[in-house]
Amino acid sequence: MKCQVIRVAEFGGPEKLVEMEYDVPSPSAGNVLVKVEATGVNPVETYIRKGNYAKLPELPYTPGTEGAGTVAEIGEGVKGLKVGDRVFLTDTLSGHGTYGQYCLSPSSEVHRLPDNSSFEIGASIGIAYRTAWRALFLKSKMKKGELVLVHGASGGVGMASLQLGKDFGARMVGTAGSPEGMEFIKSLGAEKAFNHTNREYITELNEFAPNGFGLILTMRAHSNLGKDTVLVANGGKIVIVGAQGSSTINPRRLMSKEASIQGLMTWNFTEAETKQFVDFISEKLKAER
């Protein structure tokens, strides 16, 4: 059987994404063939497409790390899933991603989608919400009532962080690069929004939180890590979610505040952590109306 996919035969710009007809693959042992209904689009797909990422697939490949759909076929030994199940994916098998009508995933990355959740919602969970959860709950011990800054809150991971932090009971503050972005993050529950294109915004953040932020999630550490060391509270933590290059900081700021910097990478999720996250997010989705 044939299907339509987007394939990349050589690394480069968006013009390297080529739509073509392709044989629907068969799942080998432990893997699942999913009929894709919705696909998540994330910055990482562009880094990979350009050949500018630490882990690269063999060429040619079909992009797409996250998505949602229905189980079309299961490989030998797969337990707990059956053909027709509505599912969301936290990863795909290298080369056979969700930028196509069918994709392959290891069964450990295929999870039942609650009946009340759309495929579009399911397709947004694998990267943005999983990364936000790892940053807020696994790599930091966010406290209720704590002042949390999401430095770059209007994008995928930022909006997920605001929602999960607010739902948990933290005081969420975010930055965006436009008035529309600021309105958007306020609509998601940010107590206050700041504009990171405004030259004075670090001063404004300092005035808003004179004792600093207990936790900072930073999406552009290459340009903001130094500013984050100014904004972090005594004993606080900065979690680096995104960085596209190096950055110079004054380590004395961290010394005097006994503050710390924590890196994060979603490919470090263990199966047990993924299960913990899936249980958490499934409960939240089931409670949605």
Ligand X SMILES: NC(=O)c1ccc[n+]([C@@H]2O[C@H](COP(=O)([O-])OP(=O)(O)OC[C@H]3O[C@@H](n4cnc5c(N)ncnc54)[C@H](OP(=O)(O)O)[C@@H]3O)[C@@H](O)[C@H]2O)c1
Q: Which residues bind ligand X (CB under 6 A)?
A: 42-44, 127-128, 131, 151-158, 175-178, 181, 196, 219-220, 223-224, 241-242, 264-266
Nearer to ligand X, 152 or 212 (CB): 152
The CA-CA-CA angle for residues 59, 62, 68, to 5°, reads 155
Residue (of 44, 15, 34) closest to 131 by Cα position:
44
Report the C-alpha gap between 285 and 87 in whole angstroms.
13
CB of 267 to ligand X, least distance (A): 7
Torsion of Cα atoms, 250 then 253 then 256 then 258, to 10°: -100
CB of 64 to ligand X, least distance (A): 14
Nearer to ligand X, 107 or 124 (CB): 124
Nearer to ligand X, 8 or 150 (CB): 150
CB of 21 to ligand X, least distance (A): 31
Nearer to ligand X, 81 or 264 (CB): 264
CB of 245 to ligand X, least distance (A): 11
CB of 218 to ligand X, least distance (A): 8
Residues 6+ apart with CB under 8 A from 198: 204
DSSP count for the chain of H helices, then E strands: 9, 13
Residue (of 27, 108, 104, 146) closest to 277 by Cα position:
108
Q: Which residue is nearest to ligand X (CB)?
A: 155
Report the C-alpha gap between 111 and 104 in whole angstroms.
13
Torsion of Cα atoms, 48 then 106 then 243 then 162, to 10°: 130
Nearer to ligand X, 68 or 188 (CB): 188
CB of 43 to ligand X, least distance (A): 4
